[in-house]
Amino acid sequence: MNNEDIVSFIRTQFNEPENFIPLHAPVFGGNEKAYVLDTIESTFVSSVGKYVTRFEEMMQDITGAKYAVATVNGTTALHLALVVAGVKGGDEVITQPFTFVATANAISHAGAFPVFVDIDRTTMGLSHEALSIFLDDFAEVKGDCCFNKKTGRRIAACIPMHTFGFPARISEIAVLCEKWKIALIEDAAESIGSYVGNKHTGTFGLAGTFSFNGNKTITSGGGGAIVTDNDNYAKIAKHISTTAKQPHAWEFVHDMVAYNYRMPNLNAALACAQLEQLPAFLESKRVLSRVYSSFFKGSEIGFITEREGTTANYWLNSIVFPDRSARDSFLECSNRQKVMSRPAWQLMNRLPMYRNCLSGELSNAVWLEDRLVNIPSSVRLSHEN
């Protein structure tokens, strides 16, 4: 199988003989226009309105979490989740180097230092084995908190990420966080519709966060959400996402320093219409992943599939080349022919602002960074298969 074969196979799947094929384009096939128009006609386009509440209820239903709090994007959802978890300036937060930059940025926004621990090659998420080794080497529990023995800083939280919609080994990670008294916050930005057993990603720790950016499985233009089962946590998250304003008919009374992070009704209208189609979107993505999987079977190119006992949403289909030069020649070939493909992110610990952060041994992250490519994965609504 050569690069040209792969590119023409992708073109066939999208029924698109010559035009540009993006990695992930949104599909608006339901009530999007009607709901957005409704917000305009009602004049409630900002962060008060029925769609924001409806969106939060839909997220509770989908994830099974007791509470959902809507935010303006996934980055602010992560920042807010850390602040409400009590992460303070000078703390450390463990995450994976193989993630979108927003995960590390949100840790910085909270004034904390990211610490990078390796991933699994199979799940592409934080490795519970690497986490366990890191904590045995560096951590000690004093009272109710975990401290880094070598830096003296508190290890306040851990943020695993469910990469490209494939669930990380989150149950094992949750056990470690519990043992070491570290708050677990899942970056589920990419994993709406992904489960471990029957439990939705984002619901294994204190809180989970989602993104509804234009390239995600479900989009609200821009948007995010925090989910949690903790009553007090949900109350504070909502309060400080809306400038900590005390309810009052006309007075402006604010009781703490807070944020303007709440999702506008206009965006929530789009999100509600999109969430109504989630089962159909997931089914379409699953069909495409099966087609890709059988295409790559038996070739030297690996195709990442969901681990047994989990359900992936197949947000971005991921293939693994034998080495970096094979990866690069495919990237060159497919993008030249307007079939978009993309390597994994540069590891966070290589970026100038995170170069000096503490890291564990990162060999799996480096291995995948050299080999992984995402290929077009959009929902195909009219596709018959």
Ligand X SMILES: *Cc1c(COP(=O)(O)O)cnc(C)c1O
Dist CA 61 CA 105 (whole Å): 29
User: Shortest distance, CB of residue 216 to ligand X, whole angstroms?
Assistant: 6
Residue in this structure with the two tokens 């992070």, named with its chain if needed: 261
Residue in this structure with the two tokens 């050299």, named with its chain if needed: 370
Which residues lie below 8 Å from residue 37, measured CB to CB, with a gap of 6+?
A: none
Instruction: State which residue, 154 or 264, has the beta carbon closest to ligand X.
Output: 264
User: Shortest distance, CB of residue 150 to ligand X, whole angstroms?
Assistant: 28
User: Shortest distance, CB of residue 339 to ligand X, whole angstroms?
Assistant: 22
Q: Confirm or reject binding of residue 44 to ligand X (CB under 6 A).
A: no
User: Shortest distance, CB of residue 109 to ligand X, whole angstroms?
Assistant: 11
Q: Confirm or reject binding of residue 168 to ligand X (CB under 6 A).
A: no
Instruction: State which residue, 75 or 377, has the beta carbon closest to ligand X.
Output: 75
Residue in this structure with the two tokens 């540069």, named with its chain if needed: 346
Residue in this structure with the two tokens 């390597």, named with its chain if needed: 343
289, amino acid identity: S
Q: How many residues bind ligand X (CB under 6 A)?
A: 14
Instruction: State which residue, 13 or 99, has the beta carbon closest to ligand X.
Output: 99
Instruction: State which residue, 13 or 103, has the beta carbon closest to ligand X.
Output: 103
Instruction: State which residue, 99 or 377, has the beta carbon closest to ligand X.
Output: 99
Dist CA 326 CA 370 (whole Å): 10
User: Shortest distance, CB of residue 162 to ligand X, whole angstroms?
Assistant: 8
Length of the chain: 385
Which of 96, 213, 219, 241 touches ligand X (CB under 6 A)? 213
Q: Confirm or reject binding of residue 219 to ligand X (CB under 6 A).
A: no
Residue in this structure with the two tokens 């709440």, named with its chain if needed: 262
Dist CA 157 CA 108 (whole Å): 13
Q: Confirm or reject binding of residue 224 to ligand X (CB under 6 A).
A: yes
- Signed CA dihedral, 238, 239, 245, 249: sign only: positive
Packed helices 32-42 and 265-276: angle between N→C axes, nearest 10 degrees: 160
List the interface residues with ligand X, window 49-78 (CB under 6 A): 73-75
List the interface residues with ligand X, window 246-265 (CB under 6 A): none
List active site positions: 216
List the interface residues with ligand X, window 83-112 (CB under 6 A): 99-100, 102-103
Residue in this structure with the two tokens 């790559």, named with its chain if needed: 296
372, amino acid identity: L
Q: Confirm or reject binding of residue 125 to ligand X (CB under 6 A).
A: no
Which residues lie below 8 Å from residue 271, measured CB to CB, with a gap of 6+?
A: 51, 55, 58, 70, 212, 218, 219, 220, 223, 263
Which of these segments, 53-61, 184-192, 227-235, 370-378, binds ligand X (CB under 6 A)? 184-192
User: Shortest distance, CB of residue 118 to ligand X, whole angstroms?
Assistant: 17
Q: Confirm or reject binding of residue 148 to ligand X (CB under 6 A).
A: no
Helix (H) and strand (E) counts for the chain?
12, 16
Which of 39, 123, 127, 211 touches ligand X (CB under 6 A)? 211
Q: Confirm or reject binding of residue 360 to ligand X (CB under 6 A).
A: no
- CA angle in degrees (0–180, nearest 5) for 238-59-274: 120
User: Shortest distance, CB of residue 187 to ligand X, whole angstroms?
Assistant: 5
Residue in this structure with the two tokens 């966060």, named with its chain if needed: 209
Instruction: State which residue, 148 or 374, has the beta carbon closest to ligand X.
Output: 374
Question: β-strands 317-320, 372-375: how paired?
Answer: antiparallel
Q: Confirm or reject binding of residue 189 to ligand X (CB under 6 A).
A: yes
Which residues lie below 8 Å from residue 339, measured CB to CB, with a gap of 6+?
A: 7, 10, 11, 21, 375, 376
Q: Confirm or reject binding of residue 310 to ligand X (CB under 6 A).
A: no
Residue nearest to ligand X (CB): 74
Q: Confirm or reject binding of residue 217 to ligand X (CB under 6 A).
A: no
92 phi and psi angles, rounded to 5 deg: -110, 145
Dist CA 177 CA 230 (whole Å): 17
Which of these segments, 185-193, 225-233, 263-271, 323-331, binds ligand X (CB under 6 A)? 185-193
User: Shortest distance, CB of residue 271 to ligand X, whole angstroms?
Assistant: 12
Q: Residue numbers of the site for ligand X (CB under 6 A)?
A: 73-75, 99-100, 102-103, 161, 187, 189-190, 211, 213, 224
